[in-house]
Structures are given as C-alpha cells and as structure tokens.
Amino acid sequence: MSSSIQFRHFEVEVDEAGAPIVLGRGAMGVTYRAFDTNLRRQVALKVIAPSLVADGVSRQRFLREARTAASLRHPNVATVLFLGEAEGDVFYAMEYVEGRTLEAELKARGPLPAREVAQIAIAVTKALTSAHRSGLIHRDIKPSNIMLTQHEGETDVKLIDFGLAKLSGGEFTGETLAAASAAGFQGTPHFASPEQINNEETDIRADMYSLGVTVFTALTGRAPFEGTLAQVLSKHLAQPPPLDTLPADAAPLKSVLAKVLEKDPSARYQTPSELRDDLEIALKLLPEIDEFATIGFVGGFDKKPGEVFASRYRLDGRKALLAHVTIHCAERLDGGPPAGLIFFDLDSWNSSREVWKSRAAILQGLTSPGLISLIGIEADPHSPAMVTEWIEGPTLIDLIKNRRSLPAIDAAPVLQKIAAGLDALHAAQVELPPLSLGDVVISPPEVLLNPVSQVKGLRAAFLGAWPGPDDAGVGDVTVVADGRRASGESPVSLIARLAYEILGGLRLEGAFRWTPLAALSAQANDLLRGALEGKAEAASAQDFIKKLLAQEMLKSGVRPALQSALISTGGRGPVPAGPPPLPPLPAKRKPLLTVFLALAAVAIVGVSLLGVAAYFLTRAAKPTIAQEPTTPATDFPSSTTEPAVEPTPEPTPTPPEDPVVAILRLADAAKLKDDFSGALLQYAEAASLAQDPSAPLGQMEMISAMMRSNAFKMSENRFVALRPALERAASMGVVSAQMVLAENLRATDPVTSLQWFSKAGEKGQTEAMTQAGLMLASGVGTGSPDFAAAAGWFARGAALGDTDASVAMADCLLNGKGVPVDKVKAVEYLRSAAAFNHPMAISLLGILTRQGVPGVIEPNMTEAFRLFSQATDMGSVEAQANLGVMYVNGWGTAKDPAKAVSLWKEGAELGDPVSMLFFAQALSEGRGTAKDKASATQWFVSAAKKGNGPAREWCKKNNIPW
C-alpha cells in the first residue's frame, strides 16, 4: 500500500491515480480512509482544515467532537480510536465503517420499505439510549449522520458526527463538555426540533424528534416540512406533520410518529427506551420485505436502461448524480441530441403540478451559458418528468475534489458562467435554488485532465429549479450559529459562497467562522466577506466576479485587457469570428492588449525578427545606386515598356511603449526581488498615470496585506525603511497600508496612528474602527478620553458585523461611556457577538446572567457557570477568573475551593491581573491552598503593576512598594 500523507502512525490511502481517498468533507475538515500501522487496520481519519487550526474556537469544537464520540462505547456508535497532533495538524482516528449513509441509500433507492426503516430507527434508539445515560445530546440526527453497513447478511447501523453534541448531565467534567453549546440555532432545519429552532434548552427529546423526522423522510423520500428556510422553521413550530401522506405499508408507524413529532417535548416519548419499545411493537405489525420486489421507482416509473418513456425517450443508463437531483440520460427516438429526464415524485407532482407548469414556462424562455436548458415537462400520469438538455461531464464538486481548489485564472470562466445563470434567474424573478458545487455540471469531461482555462467549449451549468426541496427533495444542510444556507440568497451572495469554496475555502454550510483565503489578497478577501454578509456593492453576480478576480488574475500575469476575453471564451482567450475588422483610427496610446500581443509575438519569433533586423541593417548600409530617369506614367501602358517595379516598403516603426506598462514591469520585477518599498512606489506611479488605476492599486493592497501578516517580520528598522512607500500607498487609499502604519506607530506616534486608523475606518475597515475607538476611549493620541467619539466608532463597526466592536459597544452601554446606560441594548450586542463565539461576549453574558438584568435576563447561577465554562474553554482568562469565583462560592456547581485556586493560579501565570489578585488572596488566607504570605505578596505586587485597583490598595495599606 502506498501513501502520500502520514499523520503519526496513520497512513492515508490513495487511489490508482495517487490521490488521497476522501470519505467525506465537512465544515471542520476532511475525512480520509487511512491505515493504522500499529494496529494493522483500516480507520477513518478526520483532519481539521489547516485554515482552522489556529482558530481557537474551531479547534476546541473539533477536539470536543472527538472527545464526545470517544466517550461513548456502543455497537451503534462509530468508535473513536485516537486523538492527536502531527506537525501542526490536529486529527482523530475512528472506526472505519464500510457502507453508505441513509441519505445515500435514499438517493439511490427512493423511499424504503417500512420494516427496514423501523429496524434502522430501533438501532438509532439504542445509540441514543447510550448517549442519554451519558448525559449527551447529539443535536443533528438526520439521514447523512446514520451509516448503514452489511455484516454477515445483516444491516448494521452506526450513528456518526458528534460535531454539534451538547452535554445535559452525566459525569463529564472540566475540559470535556461543560461548555459545548454555542449561542444561536444549531442543527439542520429540515430535521430540527421546535426547541432547537427557538434556541431553548434541549435534551434527548430533541434528538428523538429529529429521529422521527428522519423516519418520515425514509418512508416517503421527502422531509415532512419543506420550502424556504424560513418556511421550514415556521412549519416545525406550528404545523402538524402530514402523516396522511405515509405509504400504506407504514400504517403501524403512524401513531409512533404522531407522538415523537409532538411540538411540546413533554408530550413526546421521554426516553429513547420508550420510543424503542413502541417501534418494536410496530415492527411486529409491519409486512415482511419482498426481497424480489422492484426497488428504486419514483412516481411509478422503473428507470432501467432501454425502457421507453412517453413514447419519445429511451433511457441509456447514464446518470448525472447531482447533489439535489438525479438526471437520467435518454436517447431521443426522433433522432435529436440526448435529453435529460428528472422524474417527479408522483404525490409531489399531483400537489404542485400547476406551480411547476408556470415555473417551467418561465425557465423555458431563459437562455444562459450557466443554465441547463429546460425543454419542457412531460405530464405523464404515471411518471411526470422534467426534460432538459443533456450535458456530459463531472460535477463541480468532483473537479474540486480532484484539484482541491482552482486558481483565479481557472475559476474565472467557471464562476462567470454560473453567475450568468444566477443573474438570468434573478432577472426573470425566479427564486434561486439552494445551489451547491455538486449541482453544477462541468463539460466537456476532459476538464478533469487539463487546466480549466485551456479547455475548449467549456460549460458550467446548473438547473434553474428541480423537484426539491420545495417539492420532493430531502433538505440536509446543517446550520450552526455562524452558518449559512443558500435558500433565499441573492445572486451575489450565492456566487460569493461558491467562489469561496472553489478558491479554496471550506463549505459555508458547516460550523465555522470566516477564514480569509490565503490565495486571495486582503482587498479580495474583504470583497468576498462583504458579499457573504450581504454587503457587497455589485450590480449583479457577474459584476461581482469581475471585481473579485480582476486583481487575482493579475497575479497570474493576466492583464485587464485579456481578463474579459479569458472569462467569456472559457479561458482560451479571444477567438476571431468572421472577417477581420477594419484597422482602427490611430490613437495616441496603444491599448494594453495590443502591446501585450506585440510583446508576445516578439518573444515567440525572436530569432526570425533578429534575422529581419539584420537584413534591414545590411540593406541600409549599402551605397545607393543611381537610377535612370523614368518615363512619366500614362493612362494606357505601352506594350514596349518594362513592367513597373514596386518599391520595397520600409518597415513600420515600432510604436512607443506605453509608459504605464513599463512602470508595471519595473514594479513586478521589484516585487519578485522582495523589494517591497520599490514595488509600492512603482505601482503608485503606475496608478497615478493609468486611466484605470485598479490593477496597480490592487497590487499595492496585496503587498501591504502581506506586510500585515504574521509571516512578515516587521522590525523597527524595517518599518523605518518602508515607511515612505507605505505612506505613499496609504495616501492613495490603500487600506492595508493605512493599517500597517497605524499598527506600527501606535506606541511611538499615537496621534498619527489614530489618524491612519480613522482613515482606514472611513474606508470600511471594521478592525480599524474598533482600534480607533479603543484609542479614543483611553485617550491615546488625543490626550484625554473621548468616549462619545469612541462609541461612534464602535457602533459603526458593530453595525458591519465586527464582534470586537460589538463587545466594546456593549461595554460603553453597560458603563455609560459616551452613551446613556442601556443594559438591554448591551445584551443585544453581546448576544450578537456570542453567536459568533466571541469569548469576551460570552464571559460578559456570564456576569450579567449571574447578576440578572431586569426585563431581559433572570439571575441564573447554573447558566452563568455554563457561560463562564464555555468562555474559559475558548481561552478567556477573564472568564477563567470568574469561573474560579463560581467554584469557590459553590454558585451553579458544587463548592470546590481547590479547583478555584487552580484556575486562578493558571490565569495569574498567563498574566491576568484579576486572577493574580484572587490567587494572592487565596494564598494570603489559605483558602483552597496552603498559606504562603511571601508568594501572596509577590502576586499582589504583580497585580498592582498590571493596574489592578484592589491590589494597589492592598499594597498601599501594607506599605508594599509596587
């Protein structure tokens, strides 16, 4: 066995092409099939995404997932075998379950026999019973998290993916699961319980509700509640499940589903064991499975190769397995090109045929390179189907799995075509589908073997609508506190989400925080993040893609004049159509495209041109031979005269080079030599001369952003050398340059630092807004605090989604700094930041929950303890100090002074002045530890030096200098 990747003693297995075998991809990372060289067995190896390793919140969530799954030992739960790190990678190994998910089974076979579904549900209740005994709630029960595998003729069931698990009781302590839950809704909308949707406290009854939805889905092929995200959530809260649509063979399960899907948890089964008992009773009443029965019909039509549909189409066996739907390839019996057939569920068709007919009428009129053309609908009474064009090729997710990500030059033509399709749907007022990479077909098939930009006749197209999720699909996208879902998105935000994934980001449907893409410049990352947050300034999806990738293509050597041609022609550059155009009138300045092509021609035929040049030089060096006078020309040439000799044309003089191109060339050369000062100055000069300065300004932004990165060591001497160039760039509006100046001048020149932070803030940089506010609040750069101005900056940053600004604004509202005291509004800001896992926001909510806020938060020591524990696990030393207070007083937990002292000691050693004070008091009084006056004095002094008021008072009272 060969391996290209190794994590300690685990070797990732590879396929025939040498690519790692991927078992699945999620928001947190990738799961590979691997081999344990110690135990000599196959395992599933889940590795956190490299971009998230440094993110403390994501890292904690990943570790929590592993430890949660490892805490359970049950035949129906995939066992975690190892958790570790290797060269900066964090991973865990778990039991390799060879099979497929219930979701995949449903996609392949359609609705399952009731007896089979009941057996699967009983196995899941066994896993939930084990979790319940351990005080664990899964919170994401759904078909894709249930694995099915064959063992000795039996179907084994395994519950997987504990990434959203939460502790409700049991024997977990400390660093396990005491703070597992993040604020905000988490789960999968189609399978979530009402209490999850309402963000209320959940217990095992929520998992049983989700299991009930899963059973309904497996029996019918569709979730009980469908529509847009808002509609689905609303129906879960208020609408009874459509149990009358269950198939006849599932009648014994109807009463079980009616109880488990009650809106009120108290009316449901109270334990998994109760649910299991009723399922086993129902199982005895269910008909035996006819193993010879035909399985896989949808709408009553057997999709076998060779079958004829509607007297016009013959299935040829080929399928396009998209993320949300399957397209069957069919031969046209009239001799036309192949067609695609998408079959409706018969019940769905009967309930929504008029909607689909009107929708199809709109879609048939749309022509776009990004849309799979809809030919029409065949309203066959037994098997209604959509008829589309057939496109041969892989899905976009297949391409990304093959390449990992696409460079800008390859992503541009793909994204532009998808964007064109989204804009066409938007213009026709068609609601955009919940599009994913798996819904986009790429053609021709050789796109997997060649760079996308070199593929002729490239297509990247998707369906404008399909039967589901509004009609018959199974929604299966997990939403977390900081997650998103496609349904209801604008064309710009949807294309931004796809661009994020294509260019190397993680799937946005999962639980993760925004992570800038290393492949993009800071400016492009800001543009992308703005679009994902619904704040992009773009007229259309196509306009957004052009703005996003313009400067990134420059990094690949593609000048602006070639970019639109590369995008519109599928990456192969301009292709002449018809006779060449007439030569244009002379211009004062050659277009960049002409210069580019001329330079390319010189590079390609350099030897020939040298020869031609030598010829002309030789000719010019020869003495001129005197010519005899010629006879004047007449209207009719004489038959005796010699034929006229055409004069040899003189070579056309080379046009002068565009000065901007020459400057850009010097700038590029300086950048390659790491002469960033020279590069910035050259790009600045080019920007001042160019008619369109966006390209050189983009390069300046990229260089400045690199200087802000951790990889760039900005010593004092280096900053002094770079400062003039940075100031030139900053004065031209380059935000990253403004930030570099502000950050490096804060200590030595706070007045100028504040000015640059303010300028960057005016350009929309939220981090700059927060920093400007902090400087104003502390009087740094102004001489005295200006809380009103500081609050103004905090409010602007918070409005743009900056969590640090939200926390700072909450502090102003809590303490009346620059604004009237408003604890209610402060709680809103804190909850907004806590939804994105901001440790300080969670810690402050813990303080307010301990005290209570009239009309908003009731005093609740248990909840305060949970919040402090969560923030502590996320690295907040302030929360850790408060958690010690909870332990020492027995608030919300058992009294444990020794645990409190341990927390304070750790916080003190990390430099937290409050922890220093509490630890010093414990040492002085001998509370939770042995008395040690000398050590206590040292910690009082250390806290005083850090500015802690009570510590300074103690030192003053005891005549201890600090």
- Distances in Å between the Cα of 494 and the Cα atoms of 421, 449, 466, 486, 639 are 12, 28, 17, 6, 78
Task: Find the catalytic residue in 15, 36, 55, 140.
Answer: 140
- Tokens in use for 801? 């989604």
- Distances in Å between the Cα of 600 and the Cα atoms of 596, 597, 603 are 6, 5, 5
Counting Cα atoms < 13 Å in the Cβ hemisphere of 152 gives 0
With the C-alpha atoms ordered 833, 839, 844, 850, is the resulting torsion angle positive or negative? positive
Residues 6+ apart with CB under 8 A from 636: none
* Contact assessment for residue 268 and residue 207, using Cβ atoms and an 8 Å cutoff: no
CB atoms within 10 A of CB 592: 19
Q: Position 587: which residue type?
A: A
Task: Give the H/E segment covering residue 29.
Answer: strand 29-36
Strand partners, 30: 25, 47
End-to-end Cα, the chain, rounded Å: 65
From CA 666, how far away is CA 657, in angstroms rounded? 13
* Contact assessment for residue 397 and residue 438, using Cβ atoms and an 8 Å cutoff: yes
Query: Would you call 793 helix, strand, or coil by DSSP?
Result: helix
From CA 522, how far away is CA 516, in angstroms rounded? 8
Residues 6+ apart with CB under 8 A from 695: 550, 551, 554, 559, 560, 664
From CA 407, how far away is CA 845, in angstroms rounded? 43
Task: With CA atoms as reference, report the closest residue to 888 among 856, 921, 937.
Answer: 921
- Tokens in use for 319? 């399928």
Angle between helices 541-555 and 408-427 in degrees, nearest 10: 170
The C-alpha angle with vertex 50 and arms to 49 and 54, in degrees rounded to 5, equals 110
Report residue 353: phi and psi, to 5°.
Answer: -60, -40
Query: Burial, 575: exposed, middle or buried (Cβ in 10 Å; 0-12, 13-18, 19+)?
Result: exposed
Q: For the CA atoms of the chain, what is the radius of gyration? A: 34
* Contact assessment for residue 523 and residue 566, using Cβ atoms and an 8 Å cutoff: no
* Beta strands in 426-524, from DSSP E residues, in sequence order: 441-443, 459-461
Task: With CA atoms as reference, report the closest residue to 563 among 698, 732, 404.
Answer: 698
**Annotated catalytic residue 140:** yes
Task: With CA atoms as reference, report the closest residue to 712 among 694, 735, 739.
Answer: 739
Task: DSSP for 187-213, please give it.
Answer: B-GGG--HHHHTT----HHHHHHHHHH
Query: Would you call 159 helix, strand, or coil by DSSP?
Result: strand
- Tokens in use for 147? 């694995």
From CA 673, how far away is CA 809, in angstroms rounded? 44
* Contact assessment for residue 566 and residue 452, using Cβ atoms and an 8 Å cutoff: no
- Tokens in use for 575? 């292709």
Residues 6+ apart with CB under 8 A from 679: 667, 668, 670, 671, 699, 703
From CA 266, how far away is CA 439, in angstroms rounded? 40
- Tokens in use for 174? 């400390």
The C-alpha angle with vertex 91 and arms to 87 and 96, in degrees rounded to 5, equals 135
Q: What residues act catalytically?
A: 140
